[in-house]
A = this chain, B = another copy of it.
Amino acid sequence: VQYHAGVSEPTTRVTPLRWDDGLWLLDQRRLPWREEWVRVRDVGHAVRLIRSLAVRGAPAIGIAAAYALAAEAKRCSAIHSLRRAADRLATARPTATNLARAVAGVLAAVEAAPGHERAAAALVAARQQHEDDAEACRQIARHGAALFSPGRVTLLTHCNTGALATGGIGTALGIVRAIHSEGRLAMLYACEARPVLQGSRLTAWECVQDGIPVTLLPDHAAAGLLASGAVDGVVLGADRIAADGSVANKLGTYSLALAAAASGVTFVSAAPTTTFDLGCPSGSSIPIEQRDPGEVLTLLGRRLAPHGVAVFNPAFDVTPPHLLSAIVSERGVARPVTAESIARIAR
């Protein structure tokens, strides 16, 4: 990445995980109240931490699973047990394609190595994925920031697509960081992202850590804000991108896309190529995870609704390609979003 004189490269103080003789995760369930690091004990523990959102974000859960498999290879390098571990990690959550891909990458490295080098090979592969994702974030930020140049911009984002969700500065939030590092960010609006509040708890926390100006809003306030003309662009991530450019992403993305389209606001999904799944022809073939009713019925241990009600709580929704202005990966920008433009920036 080339930066002009006087413009600093976007960086962050935030990371969701580290390797220190084993995998450590910053427990995102405790943010913004406590910064608590958890050492991952074994594969079952890693699966539980991924499922319960101690680590979340499509790229970050891929990298976490890769390191978890490397940790398992250190404990026992028998190939059949590593295959079983890989299987459990790959299916911890269904929607993000990065997870299965990251685990498969480490497993391939393990299978190609002689028995006594499997643990080392696994760790090298996991570290490489981590570094590749950090570099992908930098390239996404560069491509994405150029979509909103020149001049000052006000952006709106959803969920958390930042350092906490990736191995680097983030995907959509990486674009925000790049624009901020150029001194051009007027304001970042962040949807709170019910039910788990990744916006209020994580994106707001990350922005405060790095001095990025941020304004929170209830999810349902975004459409009116976009209609008011106050926002220049919506930037958000993706958990899986199908071959036709349909984007499965955090619940609410589809709603925001409808609102942006109705108001003529630029709407950009940003994701590394590890998120693209060209084997999925369209949005309808992406599996959507249904999550625990408790996420909607309770908060911080307090009941929010009476007993006797049912809950509909999908983690993601699917946005059709015609509602997207552009999709940005580390390999460039698909605009307009079509099967052809997607094929060009996927790998």
Binding site for B on A (CB under 8 A): 32-33, 189, 191-195, 197, 200-201, 204-205, 207-208, 213-225, 227, 251-252, 254-255, 258-259, 262, 296-297, 299-300, 302-314, 317-318
- Besides A207-B309, A221-B251, A221-B252, 4 more A-B contacts (Cβ < 8 Å) are A205-B305, A208-B309, A216-B309, A219-B219
Evaluate contact between B194 and A297: CB separation under 8 angstroms: no
Select one of B192, B194, B227, B305 contacting A201, CB under 8 A.
B305
Evaluate contact between B254 and A223: CB separation under 8 angstroms: yes
Q: Which residue of B lies closest to A219 (CB)?
A: B220
- Interface class of chain A by DSSP: mixed
A219 contact set on B, CB distance < 8 A? 194, 218-220, 252
Evaluate contact between B251 and A313: CB separation under 8 angstroms: no
Bound complex: CA A33 to CA B306 (Å): 8
Among A207, A300, A305, A311, chain B packs the most CB atoms within 10 A around the CB of A305
Evaluate contact between A296 and B218: CB separation under 8 angstroms: yes
Evaluate contact between B255 and A312: CB separation under 8 angstroms: no
A259 contact set on B, CB distance < 8 A? 254-255, 258
Evaluate contact between A208 and B306: CB separation under 8 angstroms: yes
A252 contact set on B, CB distance < 8 A? 218-221, 223
Smallest CB separation, A261 vs chain B (Å): 9
Bound complex: CA A258 to CA B261 (Å): 10
Among A208, A252, A259, chain B packs the most CB atoms within 10 A around the CB of A252
Evaluate contact between B255 and A223: CB separation under 8 angstroms: yes
Evaluate contact between B255 and A200: CB separation under 8 angstroms: no
A197 contact set on B, CB distance < 8 A? 304-305
Assess A224 versus B300: contact at CB under 8 Å? Given A217-B312, A309-B216, A312-B189.
no
A255 contact set on B, CB distance < 8 A? 220, 222-224, 255, 258-259
Assess A194 versus B220: contact at CB under 8 Å? Given A201-B305, A312-B189, A312-B225.
yes
Q: Which residue of B lies closest to A317 (CB)?
A: B224
Select one of B215, B223, B303 contacting A312, CB under 8 A.
B215
Evaluate contact between B313 and A221: CB separation under 8 angstroms: yes
Q: Which residue of B lies closest to A320 (CB)?
A: B227
Select one of B200, B296, B318 contacting A216, CB under 8 A.
B296
Bound complex: CA A258 to CA B191 (Å): 18
A207 contact set on B, CB distance < 8 A? 309
Evaluate contact between B310 and A214: CB separation under 8 angstroms: yes
Evaluate contact between A216 and B317: CB separation under 8 angstroms: no
Select one of B204, B302, B304 contacting A305, CB under 8 A.
B204
A317 contact set on B, CB distance < 8 A? 220-221, 223-224, 227
Smallest CB separation, A90 vs chain B (Å): 25
Smallest CB separation, A5 vs chain B (Å): 31
A-B contact pairs, 19 of them (CB 8 A): A32-B306, A194-B194, A194-B218, A194-B219, A197-B304, A201-B304, A205-B305, A208-B308, A217-B313, A218-B219, A219-B220, A220-B251, A220-B317, A221-B251, A223-B258, A224-B251, A227-B254, A255-B258, A299-B299
